[in-house]
Amino acid sequence: MDTNTAGSIRPGYETTIITRSELSDDALKAVHERVATTITEFGGDMVLTEDWGRRKLAYPIQKETRGHYSYFVYTGKPGVVHEIERHLRIHEHVIRFLTVNLEKEFNAETFRKQRADIHAAAKRREEEREARREERMSERRYERVEETVEVADVAEEE
């Protein structure tokens, strides 16, 4: 069952790449384009691309303490992973990469829907957390105003 539609069922893969943090945006874009080109050459589809930005590394890698993280989810024939990793090994600005086989019968549409649900739930939780924080802050302000009024009342009585 190997069709070339967006909702096709093929093996799915995710690759996370860490490049040097000083890499220019144009050079980073070239790395991303090379990955995308390789995927299409092997009859695959890019499902998701995320730029996670520059972050501090957990430990130094090749004397680097910061790196630029990029995340790709894609489908394709099994040889696509080998070819992408070959290009990443050769590239001088790639510090580290990791490819994970998601499923033998990966459905891109199902993945997109699950990913959207996860992001929506995370956004909802963040909004709820922010609302609780605002509520606590307003309660504290109200308590301070009450204390100020009580102090003023005590001062007037004396």
Distances (CA, A) of 107 to 16, 36, 82, 101: 20, 19, 21, 13
Distance, CA of 5 to CA of 149 (rounded, Å)? 69
pLDDT at 143 over 60: yes
pLDDT computed for residue 154 by the predictor:
63
Distance, CA of 135 to CA of 152 (rounded, Å)? 26
Mean pLDDT of 131-142: 83
Distances (CA, A) of 59 to 19, 35, 64, 95, 100: 14, 26, 9, 12, 22
Domains along the sequence of the chain with CATH = 9-107 (3.30.70.60)
Distance, CA of 93 to CA of 99 (rounded, Å)? 17
Q: What is the pLDDT of residues 101-132, one digit of tens each?
A: 887 777 777 788 888 888 888 889 999 999 89
pLDDT at 7 over 50: no
Mean of the per-residue pLDDT values for the chain? 84
Most confident of 5-14, 65-74, 119-128: 65-74
Instruction: Assign residue 63 a region (left: φ > 0; alpha: ψ between -120 and 50; beta: otherwise).
Output: left
Distance, CA of 115 to CA of 113 (rounded, Å)? 5
pLDDT computed for residue 140 by the predictor:
78
Q: What percent of the chain has pLDDT over 70?
A: 85
Helical ranges in the chain per DSSP H: 25-41, 79-90, 108-157
